[in-house]
Amino acid sequence: MSTITFDDFMAVDIRAGTVIAAESFPEARKPAIKLRVDFGGDVGVKKSSAQITDHYAPDQLVGRKVMAVVNFPPRQIGPFMSEVLVLGFADTDGAIVLAAPDHDVPDGARLI
Query: Which of 70-77's residues contact partners 24+ apart within 8 Å by CB, and which partners?
Result: 70/13, 70/14, 70/15, 70/39, 70/43, 70/46, 71/11, 71/12, 71/13, 77/28, 77/32, 77/49
If you average pLDDT over residues 14-39, what whole number do you get?
96
Indicate the DSSP class of residue 107: T
Domains and CATH numbers, the chain: 14-98 (2.40.50.140)
d(CA 82, CA 85): 8
Give per-residue pLDDT as tens, 28-73. Answer: 989 999 999 999 999 999 999 999 999 999 999 999 999 999 999 9
